[in-house]
Amino acid sequence: MSKLKLAIGLGSTCSGCDIAILDIAERVLELVDLADIVFWPTAMDFKLSDLEKFGEGEIDLALYHGTVRTSEQEHIAHLLREKSKAVLAFGSCACFGGIPGLCNLTSRDEIFRTVYKETPSTDNPDFVTPQTEVEVGKFKLTLPELYDEGKALTQVIDVDYFLPGCPPPVELIEKLIPVLRGMQAGELPPKGTVIASEKTVCDECPLRKENKMIDRVARVHEIIPDPERCLLEQGILCMGPATRGGCGARCTKALMPCRGCMGPPPGVKDQGARMISAIASILGVEEEGQMSEEEVARIIDGIKDPVGNFYRFTLPTALLNRKVR
Ligand code: SF4
Ligand code: SF4
Ligand code: SF4
């Protein structure tokens, strides 16, 4: 069978996703046996022209990791779409906007003001900021534009498959190998396939649930949890009920709360809203009428940084997806 062509493009990324691909260790040999990697700028000296030379649909599978934050990243996303039969959003940044998507809590102007004007070490009286058109001698250069907003790949191009996680777990990345084998035999997975579990992290978590209510929310360093019991039922904000499984509950197995990196479970649009609803039921807010205002305020006060907790990986694709002034 002829070898496939695999491209790996990127947006605003920490490159943890690139490293995660290498984390499949010797199985990477199976990957390169199945597919020639025709574009992977993080790993090799690829240029945009290497991608541009391909015809429409000539690449079999394109992975894209990272949030789309600049005009260049958007251009790469469109190029990959045009040149590839199938595109897979790799990692939570591409799937839902990810951690770089928390940029939607601020704006480009605010960032420029802070970075190029207000920091104590900045000496920039003319408030010079990055330009998109620059003249160098007789050359006119067009540079990438930093967008005001970060977007998930799904908000920029049509995406066929999803492999969530920050970074995606090795066991799930390995599932790309049978997917590529299938593609080699002409069998594509159904569009919209998410390479992960159809259940939640709670379904994979070994900690014991006792359906107990809680009267306070504690931060992870504030209590020593019972290592056998559900962390959420001990008052620690654990995103397990609002998060898609597939990672094997790797955080709660180490007694750290789930942060929600696999994104919302199937059928849930807004992961944060689902979590708020889960907390409301466990905090007994239905009996709010019998609680004093001080008690309600004390409970709510225990939830520090609600956006950071509930939308850490999904803000750009949430129902309320950015701060507007
Ligand atoms: S999903 Fe996580 S590991 Fe991957 S690029 Fe985004 S922040 Fe990095
Ligand atoms: S809420 Fe967290 S600790 Fe509790 S069962 Fe779910 S994943 Fe486990
Ligand atoms: S337990 Fe939660 S935060 Fe940890 S890897 Fe799984 S989904 Fe991500």
From the centroid of its chain, how far is CA 86? 20
- Write down the pLDDT at residue 36: 96
- pLDDT > 80? residue 324: no
Distance from residue 127's CA to the centre of ligand 1 (Å): 32
* Separation between Cα atoms, residue 281 and residue 197, nearest integer Å: 25
Distance from residue 109's CA to the centre of ligand 1 (Å): 25
Q: Interior CA angle at 39 toward 37 and 43, to 5°?
A: 85
- Write down the pLDDT at residue 256: 97
Measured from the CA of 248, which atom of ligand 3 is nearest? 6
261-280 mean pLDDT:
95
34-39 mean pLDDT:
96
Measured from the CA of 205, which atom of ligand 2 is nearest? 8
pLDDT digits (tens, 9 = 90+) for 166-217: 999 999 999 999 999 999 999 999 999 999 999 999 999 999 999 888 888 8
- Write down the pLDDT at residue 289: 62
Scanning the structure block, which residue is given the tokens 């790309």?
176
- Write down the pLDDT at residue 121: 94
- Write down the pLDDT at residue 316: 97
Residue nearest to atom 6 of ligand 2 (CA): 202
- pLDDT > 90? residue 325: no
Residues of the chain with pLDDT > 70: what percent?
A: 98
Supply the DSSP string of 9-74, one letter for each residue.
Answer: EESB--SHHHHHHHTTTTHHHHHHHHEEEEE-TTTS---HHHHHTSPTT-EEEEEEESBEEEHHHH
pTM recorded for the entire structure: 0.94
Distance from residue 65's CA to the centre of ligand 2 (Å): 28
Residues of the chain with pLDDT > 90: what percent?
A: 86
- pLDDT > 60? residue 262: yes
Domain ranges of the chain: 4-100+149-184, 107-146, 201-317
CATH level 3 topology of 4-100+149-184: Rossmann fold (3.40.50)
- pLDDT > 90? residue 281: no
Distance from residue 77's CA to the centre of ligand 3 (Å): 27
- Write down the pLDDT at residue 288: 58
- Write down the pLDDT at residue 184: 93
Measured from the CA of 66, which atom of ligand 1 is nearest? 5
* Separation between Cα atoms, residue 88 and residue 91, nearest integer Å: 9
- Write down the pLDDT at residue 287: 58
- Name which of 66-80, 107-121, 247-261, 288-302 the model is least confident about: 288-302
157-171 mean pLDDT:
98
- Write down the pLDDT at residue 300: 80
- Name which of 15-24, 96-105, 252-261, 299-308 the model is least confident about: 299-308
38 or 282: which leads in pLDDT: 38
- Write down the pLDDT at residue 298: 80
Kindly give, in sequence order, each residue whose CB lies less than 8 Å from that of residue 125, ignoring residues fewer than 6 positions away.
none
Collapsed DSSP state (helix, strand, coil) of residue 204: helix
The two tokens of residue 31 are: 């990957």
- pLDDT > 80? residue 285: no
Asked if residue 203 lies in contact with residue 211, where contact means CB atoms within 8 angstroms, the answer is: no
Query: What average pLDDT does the chain have?
Result: 94
- Name which of 25-39, 198-212, 294-308 the model is least confident about: 294-308
Residue nearest to atom 4 of ligand 1 (CA): 17
- pLDDT > 60? residue 286: no
- Write down the pLDDT at residue 31: 93
301 or 159: which leads in pLDDT: 159
